[in-house]
Amino acid sequence: MAIDFKHASFADGVLFSAQVAVPNVVQGLFRKRAPVVSAATLVHADQLAYRCTAALVRKYGADPFYVRVVAEEALLVHHPDDIRRVLEGSPAPFASDPDAKKKGMSAFQPDALTLSRGDLWAQRRSFAEAVLDTRKPTHRLARGFAAIAIAEADALLDLDRPITWDDLNSAFQRLTRRVVLGDAATDDVKITDQLAALMDAGNKMPGKPARGYVQFHALLQEYVDTPDPAALTGLFAAAPQDRETDPAGQLIHWLFAMGDTLPANLFRTLVVLAGHPLALAEVRAELAGKRLTTVKTVVGATYLAGCIQDTMRLWPTTGLFGRVTTTDVRFANGELVPAGTQVLIHNLFNHRNRTRVAYADRFAPEEWVSGGAAGDWSFNFFSHGPQGCPGAGLSIFLGQAFLGRLLTRADPVVESGPTLRPGKPLPYSIDLASLTVSFGR
């Protein structure tokens, strides 16, 4: 008889579905539904989700266990060793295209790297790595990107009024268009708007490209066909590719990861630092007397990088993510997981797991600088393993340059939104729409 992992009870499955899986879907898998997120924050949905998984882990132990998610059972993996087993084994035998994700992402990036398998995945991955300089310490266009980030930060400060999420998001969308597509796209907000509409459609998981995708792709293709040497498109020609790569189809992912996800994390970082004066002083000490236009300065701001990474840990933009087994898989003690099984990794829980993470609920940038956080497989805001985010380094670099500029020029003050103070456990969610930050100079 095959050894099997434990199966959570039917009642526990109902609870997990109600408190973890469904809220995750309802808030928007790909593009957050602002009113729903605000309501979820009010009812502490993320805290309930944490408690639910924590209770299940207490009950079913350290090994993975099956839990019912609405209609079918999924394997919940939470121990860092098991998470490692899964992520090191992606995309095969743990493919990153479980059904729901595939159905949703097909709406706005049907040819995405993460939906690819086999040789096609390998080919698209090497294209992405070549353009994003994944394996290099810094991106070859970093100097220009830093200048863009600084300019956008300055523009934000020049508004000379408290800023909201929309202000920061707009600034970052502009930055993203410049970095990915080139200066010609600086004010091409149509691209951003079209992508938003497509991602909204993706939330409904249509399972096929949404209406408008073809036109959107054509628009991007125009930029690809007229590459800007100072932008990522300028690197496409030299990157390995074949007829199936679809470079325009690949950059969609970068547009939303850089334009939406990154600024969401940076806004939260700004708010945390406003309430943590000692950490803010460290950021400033690290940058004192240095010019952010120098790549070395930006890269050397490791404490600031730690601030951004720890914000990503504390409030992961992807609360729950999944893999699906492509074949039967045996785990360490011989447990057999059949092909086609959905495997879930609950970032929201793993990142705050109080029994494993000593600094679970406090702001701990130092753990990314000289602690063990970077090597901890519990933290997966950039994922890990072969399918780890190829743009992670570039993303942190842009964040360092952008926040570095803001924080060395001004004092952030939270005008509205939660008060985040050291010594108090940080909340499980921060509603971006609730935040207003002013800058004292």
Partner 1 sequence: MASIRGIITGTNAAVWRTVNKAGVPWHKLPGPAAALNLAALREDLRHDNLHDTRDDVEEAELENLPAYRTYDGTMQDPYDAKMGSAQTRFGRNFPWEATAAEEPPRLLTPSPREVSRTVFWRDEFQPATGLNVLAAAWIQFQNHGWFGHGTNDPDRVVEIELAEGDDWDGEMLIERTTADRTRDPEDGRPATYLNKVTHWWDGSAIYGSSEDQNRVMRSGEDGKMLLIDGKLPLEEDPVLAGIDRTGFNDNYWVGLALLHTLFVKEHNAICDMLKKTYPSWSDEKLFLTARLVNAALMAKIHTVEWTPGILNTPVLQTGMHANWYGALPEWMAAARFLTKAIDIEAGAGIIGSELKHHGASFAITEEFISVYRLHPLIPDDYPICDHRTGELIENVEFNDVMGNDTRAAVDKFGWTDLMYHFGTEYPGKITLHNHPRALMDHTRVTGQHLDLGTVDIFRDRERGVRRYNDFREQLRMPRITSFDKLTPNPDWNAELEELYAGNIDDVDLQVGLLGEEPPEGFGFSDTAFRIFILMASRRLKSDRFFTRDYTPEVYTAQGMEWIDKNTMADVIIRHFPELAPALEGSANAFAPWRKAGPRSGAA
- Which is nearer to partner 1, 70 or 285 (by Cβ)? 285
Longest distance between any two alpha carbons in the chain, whole Å: 70
- Which is nearer to partner 1, 344 or 403 (by Cβ)? 403
Q: Could you tell me the smallest distance in angstroms from the CB atom of residue 411 to partner 1?
A: 16
Q: 121 is written with which tokens?
A: 């995945």
Q: Could you tell me the smallest distance in angstroms from the CB atom of residue 423 to partner 1?
A: 3
Q: Among residue numbers 394 through 433, which ones bind partner 1 (CB under 8 A)?
A: 421-423
Q: Could you tell me the smallest distance in angstroms from the CB atom of residue 375 to partner 1?
A: 15
- Which is nearer to partner 1, 227 or 371 (by Cβ)? 371
- Which of 66, 121, 216, 303 touches partner 1 by CB under 8 A? 303
- Which is nearer to partner 1, 38 or 302 (by Cβ)? 302
The crossing angle, in degrees rounded to 10, of helices 302-314 and 392-409 is: 110
Q: Could you tell me the smallest distance in angstroms from the CB atom of residue 305 to partner 1?
A: 13
Q: Could you tell me the smallest distance in angstroms from the CB atom of residue 65 to partner 1?
A: 28
Contact call for residues 437 and 153 (beta carbons, < 8 A): no
- Which is nearer to partner 1, 131 or 314 (by Cβ)? 314
Contact call for residues 130 and 221 (beta carbons, < 8 A): no
Rg for the chain, CA atoms, rounded: 21
Q: Could you tell me the smallest distance in angstroms from the CB atom of residue 350 to partner 1?
A: 20
Q: Could you tell me the smallest distance in angstroms from the CB atom of residue 86 to partner 1?
A: 31
How many Cα atoms occupy the beta-carbon half-sphere of 161 within 13 Å?
3
User: Distance between CA atoms of 155 and 164, rounded to whole angstroms?
Assistant: 14
Q: 96 is written with which tokens?
A: 């990153």
**Size of residue set near partner 1 by CB under 8 A:** 20
- Which is nearer to partner 1, 6 or 284 (by Cβ)? 284
User: Distance between CA atoms of 57 and 170, rounded to whole angstroms?
Assistant: 40
HEC profile of 34-96: HHHHHHHHHCCHHHHHHHHHHHHHHHHCCCCEEEEECCEEEEECCCHHHHHHHHHCCCCCEEC
What does the per-residue mask of binding to partner 1 show for 339-378, with x meaning CB under 8 A?
Answer: -------------------xx--xxx-x--xxx-------
For position 61 contacting partner 1 by CB under 8 A, the verdict is: no
Beta strands in 352-435 (DSSP E): 411-416
Q: Among residue numbers 233 through 292, which ones bind partner 1 (CB under 8 A)?
A: 276-278, 281-282, 285-286
Query: What amino acid occupies position 73?
Result: E
Structure-token match 């939303």, residue found: 256
Q: Could you tell me the smallest distance in angstroms from the CB atom of residue 347 to partner 1?
A: 23
User: Distance between CA atoms of 397 and 179, rounded to whole angstroms?
Assistant: 12
The footprint of partner 1 (CB under 8 A) covers 276-278, 281-282, 285-286, 303, 358-359, 362-364, 366, 369-371, 421-423
